[in-house]
Chains A and B, each alone.
Chain A
Amino acid sequence: MSMTITEKILAAHADLDRVEPGDLINARVDIALANDITAPISIDRFEKSGATKVFDKNAVILVPDHFVPNKDINSAMQAKVLREFAKAQDLTYFYDAGEMGVEHALLPEQGLVLPGDLIIGADSHTCTYGGLGAFATGMGSTDLAAAMVTGEVWLKVPETMKFVFTGKLNPYVEGKDLILYTIGDIGVDGALYRSMEFTGSVIDNLGMAGRLTMANMAIEAGAKNGIFIPDEATEEYVSGRAKREYKFYTSDEDAEYTLVKEYDVSNIEPQIAFPHLPENSRGISDVGEIAIDQVVIGSCTNGRIEDMRSAASILKGKKIAKGLRLIIIPATPWIYRTAMDEGLFKIFLDAGAIISPPTCGPCLGGHMGILAKGEKAVATTNRNFVGRMGHPESEVYLASPVVAAASAVLGKIGGPDQVM
């Protein structure tokens, strides 16, 4: 019987030959992840359950990335809860300040999440790891606490929607634009409770950074997971960094999908998602004149080294508009160091940017770049909800790193074509 990649991974982790959409399964988890916002609740629930040891000290990963370096006393207390728990449980993978990076950039980079894995995280963007060909989904702190105790999670097998991207990408169109376009097409609940599988000739040539960006935003369409079929590019990315064995799964040719969508990417230009939902995306030529106060380039969506290089390619030899703040946040210490070694920091600083240490920071309105009332920002992040980056009357426009960089130079929303 035929199955999709998602169904195969779920079946394997539930020791079943076969699963079907709608089945309720109890599955083994390979990795359970939490951060400085969600872990304190998980740890509290874990301790109250009477459990004394996590199911596997190599499989429970804690990354205090949201408010670290600690932004205030309360957030310092939260980070401390993680630190003490990690010590008491002797967790192998606890990333404290200095080693810490934005979790969904850090885990793939460190080879901790791998193709064929079943990963749950108390963070909605855990779905990022689908870029590697893993089943990965976000949950709440209590689900995570239960998995920390048992090493298992209950899941309903989702239906799968297939997205096929064909044609030739226009200049400056990246994974970010493809996913914003897709969410614009199906809406923020267009994939509710479902799996999104991304395929097609364009995806084959996309590269890992673009795939991780796209999988990252599957949750923005309400999906349970986003997933890519692993291939040579995946192998090249994971071999050498994998900390464990991994396995490639693929969808059967006659697997069943609830819906198949085909997009000819030749029709897709760089995208901007307008406030206050990621589904409000439109092509850069339909934006009009929108002056901006701040640009943020970073996050688990677009804070990887490829994104730093893209931004630098636009900013090289240019200055950002007067009065605008450009905040660049390499997502992990490795990305930070590599960007520095490659000379990207010089380009950023010459352009007038601020370079932040790895952190989620302004992405969720935490710190390091909060917006005032009435201010507008272009960000390479994944959400533009009301108040997401600060004041409830501020606005966030989502875009790719090249569009964000070009907008920083222009002082208004605009595409790379306008500055190159």
Chain B
Amino acid sequence: MKIQGKIWKFGDDVDTDLIIPARYLNTSEPAELAKHCMEDADPDFVNKSSAGDIIIGGKNFGCGSSREHAPIAIKAAGISCVIAKSFARIFYRNAFNMGLPILECDETDRFESGNSLSVDFDTGEIILIEEDAKFITKPIPPFMQELVKSGGLMNHIAKQI
């Protein structure tokens, strides 16, 4: 699968309170959560971004709480994927479990907000359109690939019930 989208860049250690503040966690309704996606990092994010856009992070993206509301909010806001130097482990699991594509790439410093990327999930290749520059991401571990193929963790275990 290939996608293309505009970049919104954030820094290191983007925590789950920035992605979706706890004051909105009295619901788990995706559309409600999407309204407040990244609100405390950029109050205007939801209005500025459009479907298919890509979030770029530095190291340790998604640190903090275990709230699955974070990847849910990002996905429901129409973001097509998150690319960061590294992900906090619970966010990493959650993203795969609920089907938000994420990729690890050491060179996210090269990308700027407003740039466009084309991402090939099968090969893990990223192209920075403005510069026609190619970047390689870390391969997705085989077990995670299997999860994605099954359509997430619940479908994966449904076979066992």
A residues at B contact (CB < 8 Å): 24, 37-38, 40-41, 44-45, 48-51, 66-67, 71-72, 74-75, 78, 121-124, 126, 138-143, 145-146, 149-150, 154, 188-189, 192-193, 222, 224, 277, 364-366, 370, 383, 385-388, 392
Contacts and interface: CB of A to CB of B under 8 A. Distances in A.
Contacts of A365: 17, 21-23
A22 B25 CA distance: 34
28 contacts: A37-B25, A37-B67, A41-B68, A44-B28, A49-B161, A66-B25, A123-B65, A123-B66, A124-B66, A124-B90, A139-B90, A140-B97, A143-B153, A154-B143, A188-B13, A188-B60, A188-B63, A193-B89, A222-B60, A222-B63, A222-B89, A364-B22, A383-B15, A385-B64, A386-B17, A386-B18, A392-B39, A392-B43
Interface string B33-77: 000000111010000000000000001100111111100100000
Contacts of B89: 192-193, 222, 224
Interface in B102-161: 143, 152-154, 156-158, 160-161
Given A140-B97, A189-B59, A222-B63, A146 B23 contact: no
B55 to A, nearest CB: 17
Contacts of A38: 66-68
A143 B27 contact: no
B60 A366 contact: no
Given A143-B93, A146-B157, 12 more contacts: A50-B161, A75-B26, A78-B27, A78-B28, A140-B66, A222-B60, A364-B17, A364-B22, A385-B15, A386-B17, A386-B40, A388-B17
A192 B97 contact: no
- Sorted nearest first, the 3 A-B pairs with minimum C-beta distance are A74-B26, A140-B94, A189-B60
A390 to B, nearest CB: 8
Contacts of B80: none
Nearest to B17: A385
A224 B91 CA distance: 12
Tell me the interface secondary structure of chain A in the complex: loop
B44 to A, nearest CB: 13
Contacts of B97: 140, 142-143
Given A124-B66, A140-B66, A142-B154, A67 B23 contact: no
Contacts of A370: 23
A51 B66 contact: no
Contacts of A140: 66-68, 90, 93-94, 97-98
A154 B90 CA distance: 13
A361 to B, nearest CB: 11
A72 B143 CA distance: 41
A192 B22 contact: no
Interface string B5-19: 000000001010110
Given A192-B89, A193-B89, A124 B26 contact: no
